[in-house]
């Protein structure tokens, strides 16, 4: 390893973004949040869009601030998956990228059997997967004029460097990448009616994309490297979950993880994909991870349910802390819903939908924000229990511990309920896993972090002390609640 370096990590989530400066060396890792900014979708003309130009401006401003405060050696970008921008023949963006929660993919299918699609790509069915977004866009003037498709972090990288490409961990989520060869599934694209020419060359985590464009560097912008030259942009594991999983401080291979935030990504890290029909039926996905690993997981609705409840209630319901405090006093498992039911996917009146779901089944309905909060948390813990049991059964690998990383690792009540529901010890943290995975891959590319994934995790364990939650409560009660939600 070389001496310590300082790198900038751009971490973009579905509701906010931030720029982190990280000092990484043999003595540890220090993170400094340089800037944070909202990421708010915009509805226009009946379509829900990402405000991508605002997001790009905030990224550039954050990087400039970081370069003014720290001697940066590189920068890297991670974001959510699936969504994309289209470039025309002149390299110009054709419209704002559409949000994955937009209704345009409702009822969309493709002319490839689901079993064959899964056998090729290993990707679980989600109605907003890139393949379905493109099928929904078939015949539109925008798609007809497009010459290049770039996923969100690759689009921002293009504007920063002028270089096109597709980082593989994010590309794997599109349901258009061959999971075995990790190359674009061009024959599949042709059968679906998607032009393969849209898809640029693939990149690996750690590849140097290129120097930041000259218009972004120099005295006026101060967006330069520590030596005064152009700052290099490094391809990280650009799917935020891939970065988060890379930063799970696991000691051996028999671990499960929950990357907990707006979504909860629940699964295990494997050496090879699981492409059985049983795996497809259980809706598990095989996404690319760092160093050839496979992120074998299921998407669970996550804290989105609580966030939408809070948005509906407004300030009158109190803070998250007060809601969690009230929820802790509510009778356990009195109100539970199937958190994976598609009815809870769109934005809107989440408390109303939860109440309707329970009422339609003749079950008790929460009557206060605290009871709704407890309903959400108990239901998420049950979804985690189901996903982790399925992951172990389908992969043939046991899990001895559950690592919870991301913002949800700070939710002590949810972490304890997860331990209770799964019967496994939970190690919570780091909350900044996505940022840590981002900056560690950059540091490794620069020679300032260890060479293997296991060695990087050992470095993390020396810096991070997760909080441990032991299973407690009634295992029988969780089993009965799980049976209540089991398909009839």
CA atoms of 116 and 121, how far apart (whole Å): 9
Please indicate, yes or no, if residue 440 is contained in any of the structural domains: no
pTM (two decimals): 0.92
What's the pLDDT band for 234 if we cut at 50, 70, 90?
very high
Report, as residue numbers or ranges, the catalytic residues: 240
CA atoms of 204 and 169, how far apart (whole Å): 8
Listed residues 169, 203, 238: the one ending a domain: 238
CA atoms of 323 and 325, how far apart (whole Å): 5
Listed residues 238, 258, 286: the one ending a domain: 238
Same domain, 134 and 71: yes
Same domain, 226 and 303: no
Same domain, 127 and 257: no
Same domain, 343 and 317: yes
CA atoms of 274 and 255, how far apart (whole Å): 17
Instruction: Say whether pLDDT at 332 is over 90.
Output: yes
Same domain, 215 and 314: no
CA atoms of 264 and 303, how far apart (whole Å): 7
What's the pLDDT band for 473 if we cut at 50, 70, 90?
confident
Same domain, 72 and 158: yes
Same domain, 207 and 322: no
Please indicate, yes or no, if residue 445 is contained in any of the structural domains: no
pLDDT of amino acid 1: 58
Same domain, 403 and 310: yes
Instruction: Say whether pLDDT at 127 is over 60.
Output: yes
Please indicate, yes or no, if residue 461 is contained in any of the structural domains: yes
Please indicate, yes or no, if residue 31 is contained in any of the structural domains: yes
User: How many other C-beta atoms lie within 10 A of the C-beta of residue 250?
Assistant: 21
Same domain, 185 and 305: no
Question: What is the CATH number for 81?
Answer: 3.30.420.40
Same domain, 207 and 271: no
pLDDT of amino acid 219: 47
Please indicate, yes or no, if residue 192 is contained in any of the structural domains: yes
Q: Cβ(91)–Cβ(68) under 8 Å? A: no
What is the percent of the chain with per-residue pLDDT over 70, rounded to a whole number? 97
Please indicate, yes or no, if residue 442 is contained in any of the structural domains: no
Instruction: Say whether pLDDT at 220 is over 60.
Output: no
**Span 21-80, pLDDT tens digits:** 999 998 889 999 999 999 999 999 999 999 999 999 999 999 999 999 999 999 999 999
How many domains is the chain built from? 2
User: How many other C-beta atoms lie within 10 A of the C-beta of residue 115?
Assistant: 12
Same domain, 221 and 327: no
Instruction: Say whether pLDDT at 135 is over 90.
Output: yes
**Span 264-292, pLDDT tens digits:** 999 999 999 999 999 999 999 999 999 99
Listed residues 238, 259, 276: the one ending a domain: 238
Query: Which residues span the domain enclosing 454?
Result: 248-429+450-488
């Amino acid at each position: 390893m070389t001496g310590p370096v300082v790198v900038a990590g751009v971490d973009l989530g579905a509701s906010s973004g931030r720029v982190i400066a990280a000092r990484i060396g043999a003595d540890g890792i220090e993170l400094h949040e340089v800037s944070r900014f909202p990421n708010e979708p915009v509805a226009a003309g009946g379509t829900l869009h990402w405000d991508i130009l605002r997001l790009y401006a905030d990224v550039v401003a954050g990087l400039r601030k970081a370069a003014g405060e720290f001697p940066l050696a590189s920068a890297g970008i991670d974001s959510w998956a699936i969504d994309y921008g289209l470039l025309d023949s002149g390299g110009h963006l054709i419209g704002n990228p559409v949000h994955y929660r937009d209704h345009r993919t409702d009822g969309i299918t493709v002319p490839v059997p689901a079993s064959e699609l899964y056998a090729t790509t290993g990707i679980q069915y989600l109605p907003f997967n890139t393949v379905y977004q493109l099928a929904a866009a078939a015949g539109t003037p925008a798609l007809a004029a497009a010459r290049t498709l770039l996923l969100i972090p690759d689009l921002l990288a293009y504007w920063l460097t002028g270089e096109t490409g597709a980082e593989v961990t994010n590309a794997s989520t599109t349901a258009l990448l061959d999971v075995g060869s990790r190359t674009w599934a061009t024959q599949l694209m042709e059968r679906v009616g998607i032009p393969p020419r849209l898809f640029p060359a693939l990149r690996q985590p750690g590849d140097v994309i290129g120097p930041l464009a000259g218009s972004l560097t120099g005295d006026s912008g101060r967006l330069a490297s520590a030596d005064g030259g152009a700052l290099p942009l490094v391809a990280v594991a650009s799917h935020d979950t891939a970065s988060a999983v890379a930063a799970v401080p696991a000691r051996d291979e028999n671990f499960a993880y929950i990357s907990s935030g707006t979504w909860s990504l629940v699964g295990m890290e494997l050496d090879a994909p699981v492409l059985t029909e049983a795996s497809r039926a259980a809706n598990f996905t095989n996404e690319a991870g760092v160093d050839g690993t496979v992120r074998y997981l299921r998407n669970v609705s996550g804290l989105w349910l609580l966030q939408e409840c809070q948005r509906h209630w407004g300030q009158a319901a109190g803070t998250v802390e007060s809601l969690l405090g009230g929820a802790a006093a509510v009778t356990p498992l009195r109100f539970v819903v199937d958190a994976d039911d598609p009815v809870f996917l769109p934005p809107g009146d989440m408390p109303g939908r939860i109440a309707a779901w329970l009422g339609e089944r003749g079950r008790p309905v929460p009557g206060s924000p605290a009871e709704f909060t407890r309903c959400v948390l108990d239901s998420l813990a049950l979804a985690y229990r189901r996903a982790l049991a399925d992951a172990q059964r389908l992969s043939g690998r046991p899990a001895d511990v559950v690592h919870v990383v991301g913002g949800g690792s700070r939710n002590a009540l949810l972490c304890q309920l997860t331990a209770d529901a799964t019967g496994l010890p939970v190690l919570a943290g780091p909350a900044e896993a996505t940022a840590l995975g981002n900056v560690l891959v950059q540091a490794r590319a620069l020679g300032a972090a260890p060479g293997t994934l296991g060695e990087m995790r050992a470095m993390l364990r020396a810096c991070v002390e997760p909080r441990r939650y032991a299973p407690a409560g009634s295992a029988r009660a969780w089993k009965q609640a799980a049976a209540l939600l089991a398909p009839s």
